[in-house]
């Protein structure tokens, strides 16, 4: 059975998209039955071009990413979510979406906050560097997530493992 993971952020234009694209890329390469999605509570409707650039420089396809509302994951026909990860930076007073239940039970939820690279200083060069560093930081946690035996962990063990990854 496919494990569905939803990564949430406010605008679904950078951090959540980086996570979705990398997780899907590596899951495919590793032969894992996992599908990542991303969404936002107030989607911008467009992906930040610097997010696309960072992913492409890492050799990760971006053709399927789009900015979308979390409402797509709460109605009929929505995939059965196993994990919901929020990646907004609540320390920056950013509104972090709260996910609600899905049919068949609640997904395991975890918060892995990252500062918004779109707000980096230093002009275009500073923003590019921030996007690349954010891509690397998110990628590190996504690889740790992919190393988990998701098919065999019970809910409590999965929650504990995801919290531990968040501490890294």
Q: What is the mean pLDDT of residues 47-61?
A: 97
Contacting residues for 48 by C-beta, under 8 A, at least 6 apart: 13, 14, 17, 118, 131
* β-bridge pairing 81-86 and 3-9: parallel
Computed over every residue of the chain, the mean pLDDT equals: 90
Share of the chain above pLDDT 90, in %: 76
pLDDT of residue 26: 97
What pLDDT digit, counting tens, does each position of 12-35 carry?
A: 999 999 999 999 999 999 999 999
Token pair 């920056």 in the structure block, residue: 92
Domains in the chain, ordered, with CATH? Answer: 3-167 (3.40.50.2300)
User: Collapsing DSSP states into helix, strand and coil, what is residue 87?
Assistant: coil
Mean pLDDT of 121-136: 97
Which of 35, 40, 95, 98 lies closest to 67, judged by CA?
40
Give the per-residue pLDDT at 73: 87
pTM over 0.85: yes
162-to-12, 15, 50, 59, 151 alpha-carbon distances in Å: 21, 18, 28, 26, 14
pLDDT tens-digit map of 68-109: 998 888 877 888 899 999 998 865 555 555 554 444 578 899
Mean pLDDT, residues 122-140:
97
């Amino acid at each position: 059975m496919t494990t569905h993971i939803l990564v949430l952020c406010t605008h679904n234009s950078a951090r959540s998209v980086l996570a979705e694209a990398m997780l899907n890329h590596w899951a495919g390469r590793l032969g894992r039955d996992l599908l990542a999605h991303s969404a936002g509570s107030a989607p911008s409707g467009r992906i930040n071009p610097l997010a696309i650039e960072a992913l492409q420089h890492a050799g990760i396809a971006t053709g399927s990413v789009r900015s979308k509302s979390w409402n797509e994951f709460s109605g009929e026909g929505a995939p059965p979510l196993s994990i919901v990860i929020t990646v907004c930076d609540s320390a920056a007073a950013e509104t972090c979406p709260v996910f609600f239940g899905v049919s068949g039970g609640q997904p395991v939820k975890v918060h892995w906050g990252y500062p918004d690279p779109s707000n980096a200083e230093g002009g275009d060069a500073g923003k590019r560097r921030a996007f690349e560093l954010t891509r690397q930081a998110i990628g590190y946690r996504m690889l740790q997530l992919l190393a988990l035996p998701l098919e065999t962990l019970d809910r409590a063990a999965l929650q504990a493992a995801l919290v531990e990854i968040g501490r890294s």
